[in-house]
Amino acid sequence: MLLSAYQRVKRRLPAVHIPYVSSLPASQRFGLKLIAPALAMMLLVHGIPVILGFVMSFYEFPSLRYTDWFRPETFVGLDHFAKVFQKDTIYGAQFWNSLKVTILYTVGSVIGTYVLGLVTALTLDKQFRGKLVARTVILIPYVTPVVVTLLTWRMMFRSDTGVINALLRQAGLIEGSLFWLLGPNSLYAIIIANVWRNFPYAAIMLYAGLQSVPEQLYEAAEIDGAGRWGKLRYVTLPQLKPVSAVILLLLILWTFINFPVPYILLGGSPSESGNVLMLLIYSFGFKQSAYGIGSALSAMLFLFSMTIAYVYYKRVVASSYDGGAI
Partner 1 sequence: MLSSLMAAVGSESTIVPDEMRLTADGKELMYQLLWRSVLILVLIFAIFPVWMMFTTSFKTRDEVLQLGLDILPADPYVQNYFLMFQRFPLVDYYVNSLVISSVTTVLSLLIGGLAAYSLSRYEFPGKEKFEMGALATQMIPGVLILIPMFLLFIVMDQSANIPMKDTYHGMIFLYTTFTVPFTIWMLRGYFDTIPTALEEAARIDGCTRTQALFRVVMPLAAPGLAATGMFVFLLAFNEVLFASVLATDNVTPFSIGIQNFQQQDQTMWGQMMAASTLAAVPLLAIFVVFQRQIVSGLTSGSVKQ
Window 78-107: residues binding partner 1 (CB under 8 A):
none
DSSP 3-state assignment of 75? strand
Q: Does 246 bind partner 1 (CB under 8 A)?
A: yes
Residue type, 258: N
Among residue numbers 185 through 224, which ones bind partner 1 (CB under 8 A)? 196, 199-201, 204-205, 208-209, 211-212
Among 302, 312, 316, 319, binds partner 1 (CB under 8 A): 302
Q: Does 120 bind partner 1 (CB under 8 A)?
A: yes
d(Cα 298, Cα 301) in Å, to the nearest integer?
5
Cα distances (angstroms) measured from residue 183 to each of 44, 106, 266: 41, 19, 10
Among 45, 78, 93, 311, binds partner 1 (CB under 8 A): 45
Among 78, 107, 155, 220, binds partner 1 (CB under 8 A): 155
- How many residues are given for the chain? 326
In the complex, minimum distance from the CB of residue 90 to partner 1, in angstroms, rounded to a whole number: 19
Q: Does 46 bind partner 1 (CB under 8 A)?
A: yes
Q: In terms of CB distance, is 101 or 204 closer to partner 1?
A: 204
Q: Does 134 bind partner 1 (CB under 8 A)?
A: yes
DSSP 3-state assignment of 183? helix
Q: How many residues bind partner 1 (CB under 8 A)?
A: 99
Q: Does 287 bind partner 1 (CB under 8 A)?
A: no
Q: Does 151 bind partner 1 (CB under 8 A)?
A: yes
Say if CB 94 and CB 281 are below 8 A apart.
no
In the complex, minimum distance from the CB of residue 242 to partner 1, in angstroms, rounded to a whole number: 8
CA dihedral 269, 270, 276, 280 (to 10 degrees): 20
Contact track, partner 1, 18-37, x by CB under 8 A? ------x--xxxxxx-xx-x
Q: In terms of CB distance, is 88 or 172 closer to partner 1?
A: 172
**What DSSP assignment string belongs to 40-100?**
HHHIIIIIHHHHHHHHHTTB---SS-GGGSS-GGGB-TTHHHHHHH-TTSHHHHHHHHHHH
d(Cα 1, Cα 11) in Å, to the nearest integer?
16
In the complex, minimum distance from the CB of residue 85 to partner 1, in angstroms, rounded to a whole number: 18
Say if CB 309 and CB 248 are below 8 A apart.
no
d(Cα 240, Cα 235) in Å, to the nearest integer?
9
